[in-house]
Structure 1
Amino acid sequence: MTRSIDYGNLMHRAMRGLIQTVLEDVAQNGLPEPHHFFITFDSQHPGVEMADWLKARYPEEMTIVIQHWYENLTVTDEGFSITLNFGNSPEPLYIPFDAVQTFVDPSVEFGLRFETQDYEDDEEEEEDAEEAAPAAEEKPRTPGEVVSLDKFRKP
């Protein structure tokens, strides 16, 4: 086996570090307007802590919004805990950074998407997938239709 640099996982670690830094700043200084966050996470990920009724409602993934009302935002190296309001019922959540699938701040058109969730077995899974995957069949190319823009021009 040859040694290689795993840029994908290095980038994911760096991006999760960015989320950690942003959330630490918000925990210390509050959320400046107009910023707000949409965070989608894997609700089945080990370490996610949430009410049973929320897990039943969101069995695979959940998106939370951090904007107007939130409490007890605490950030660690592994993840963050926060209390959010669900139908006038405050619910505490704990979300490991490894469970985060997307982090978006639409107020500044910033977003991160994580394509893989497993760090420990990535290399082994890639090798297994290469062995198990049949060679991809190339799809035949169909000619494109040429559209004249003249019919859309105003006289």
Structure 2
Amino acid sequence: MAERIDYGKLMHHAMRGLIRQVLSDVARDGLPGEHHFFITFDTQHPGVELAPWLRERYPEEMTIVMQHWFDALEVDDEGFAVTLSFGNQPERLVVPFDALRTFVDPSVEFGLRFESPGASGDDLDESEDASGPAPEEEDDAAERKDADVVSLDRFRK
């Protein structure tokens, strides 16, 4: 028996379970209303699968957006796989839940941040926004290179 309860590890496991449930629901029913997700993950984590050109461009982490267009979302106990469009080019990504750094649904001001060994949590400067095929949105996505996770407390009254 351990000398102490690792509440941090238990909380991260529970939060990943919440994300697993949300993504499973979306895989089955689609995104409801205005919901959309910004998901940042460690591209070097074991089990992450992405195209070589994406890994080269984002050698440490990347942020994907699941909003207007995504395809073949599959979720299991270990992670999720999804096809997204990057510059009108569909690419399949496989992301283990243990690789997640942030999960944000800005439509309801919800966000989770996972601390990883050696990560400061503030180093979110390399990101990729993948969303629907609308050209004006792709231009906006190309301009966004930083992802900010905002504390929800500042929006509460």
Percentage of pairs with the same residue:
70
Q: Is the counterpart of residue 75 in structure 1 residue 75 in structure 2?
A: yes
In the alignment, which residue of structure 1 is the partner of 2:38? 38
SS in 2 for 1:19: helix
Post-superposition shift, 1:66?
0.2
Measure, in 2, the Cα distance between the counterparts of 1:88 and 1:52: 17
Measure, in 2, the Cα distance between the counterparts of 1:111 and 1:11: 14
Post-superposition shift, 1:115?
1.0
The amino acid across from 2:38 in the alignment is: F
Q: Which runs of 4+ in 1 moved over 4 A?
A: none
Measure, in 2, the Cα distance between the counterparts of 1:17 and 1:2: 23
Question: TM-score normalized by structure 1?
Answer: 0.74
**Cα deviations by residue, 1:29-72 (Å, 9 ceiling, x for unpaired):** 00012000000000000100000000001000000000000000
Q: Which has the larger radius of gyration?
A: 1
Provide the aligned length of Structure 1 versus Structure 2: 118
Q: Is the 8 A contact 1:98 1:117 kept in 2?
A: no
CA RMSD of aligned residues (A): 1.5
Q: Unpaired segments of 5 or more residues in structure 1?
A: 119-155
Question: TM-score normalized by structure 2?
Answer: 0.73
Q: Is the counterpart of residue 11 in structure 1 residue 34 in structure 2?
A: no
In the alignment, which residue of structure 1 is the partner of 2:110? 110
Measure, in 1, the Cα distance between the counterparts of 2:41 and 2:73: 16
